[in-house]
Amino acid sequence: MSIIILAIESSCDDTSAAILKDGVVLSNCVANQTIHEQYGGVVPEVASRAHQENIIPVVDQAIKKAGINRSEITAVAFTRGPGLIGSLIVGVSFAKAFALSLGVPMIEVNHMQAHVLAHFAEDPKPSFPFLCLTVSGGHTQIVLVRDHLDMEILGETIDDAAGEAFDKTGKLLGLPYPAGPYIDKYAKEGEAVFDFPEPNVGELNFSFSGLKTSILYFLKKQLAENPDFIQENLNNICASVQDRIVSILIKKLKRAAKQTKITEVAIAGGVSANSALRNTLQKTGEEMGWNTYIPSFQFCTDNAGMIAVTAYYKYLRGEFVGQDVAPVARYAINIGHES
Ligand code: KG4
Ligand code: ZN
């Protein structure tokens, strides 16, 4: 009998559903919540309500696109955490009701493990052990991946995530939320002529809050002299900020590869959609003799396809959960339990 998994992702502001059959993602549908643009960030209460509106249409779309009948589904998977608790509750409650109505088991998934395992939705797949730089709106981690479900964090941010550095800079520049894709777009037309300082943080950890502050003071000073400074220099500011964020990320990734002697190197998470990060990783990989793995865009930002892939490996190990499962806002990647 085939393994057919319906997966639900609702940890932040994207509602997503996917269907996987025997390890292959057949559909991966996402409803973005553009309503948060006007607030300059995700408003948790608004996100929960939008998930409630989106979840049934997105699941219907995923089932239809996969060309399966809902009675063929053999398990229902969902993101248990980490994430916004109100958003997670919508996905978990839906999964419980759906699984109960079909009489099939449930599989809970760690969102950060899933970002890493998005690499197993496509070819070529990394071989073990590999390093994964997971960069999103909430996390920045260098993960040592020993096996599908055996991961260890070697370094992570001590304050803001890389995605937050993009988004908060964008806010200072008057760009809509999330600003990462806008900064990426404007940077393509500019040059990194402004020099922002590199944070002094040890080993494989990251820090981005100082960068945000230095950009704030830089802009204040420039705007005092020229009120049109941002409009006149937007492309160059974006290129400079992006260049600094990417150089911080790649430097630590190089250090991790050197320390572990691992040459299989991947990136994952929303910020891995960034064109400068993708190009720099590829170039660095060629210089260092690494095999590099860069996900296609649909598997970078939050999506249920990656939840389905992770659930598949848990299904093979018989890791199911009962109706008493609850979502968790914090969820450690390495032990599979809430922290
Ligand atoms: O993984 P993700 O979709 O959600 C979280 O789990 O956080 O990541 C969202 C983050 C946002 O901060 C967004 O600005 C950033 O990914 N992002 C980008 C790009 N596309 C999305 N950052 C830089 N360049 C991009 N092209
Ligand atoms: Zn994410």
Q: Where are the domains of the chain?
A: 4-116+299-316, 126-294
Does ligand 1 have an atom closer than 6 angstroms to the CB of 249?
no
Res 337: pLDDT: 37
Contact 44, 86 (CB under 8 A): yes
**CA 83 to ligand 2 centroid distance, Å:** 9
- 109 strand-pairing partners: 79
d(Cα 171, Cα 104) in Å, to the nearest integer?
45
* Nearest residue by C-alpha to atom 7 in ligand 1: 137
Contact 168, 212 (CB under 8 A): yes
pTM of the model: 0.95
Does ligand 1 have an atom closer than 6 angstroms to the CB of 78?
no
Which CATH superfamily is 4-116+299-316 part of? Answer: ATPase, nucleotide binding domain (3.30.420.40)
**CA 137 to ligand 2 centroid distance, Å:** 7
* Nearest residue by C-alpha to atom 21 in ligand 1: 270
Res 8: pLDDT: 98
Point out the residues of the chain with pLDDT beneath 70.
Answer: 335-339
Does ligand 1 have an atom closer than 6 angstroms to the CB of 161?
no
Res 335: pLDDT: 52
Res 34: pLDDT: 84
Res 339: pLDDT: 37
The CATH fold assigned to 126-294 is Nucleotidyltransferase; domain 5 (3.30.420)
126-294: same fold as 4-116+299-316? yes
**CA 269 to ligand 1 centroid distance, Å:** 7
Does ligand 1 have an atom closer than 6 angstroms to the CB of 131?
no
Question: To test the ligand 1 pocket, which listed residue (139, 164, 275, 301) has its Cβ within 8 A of the most ligand atoms?
Answer: 301
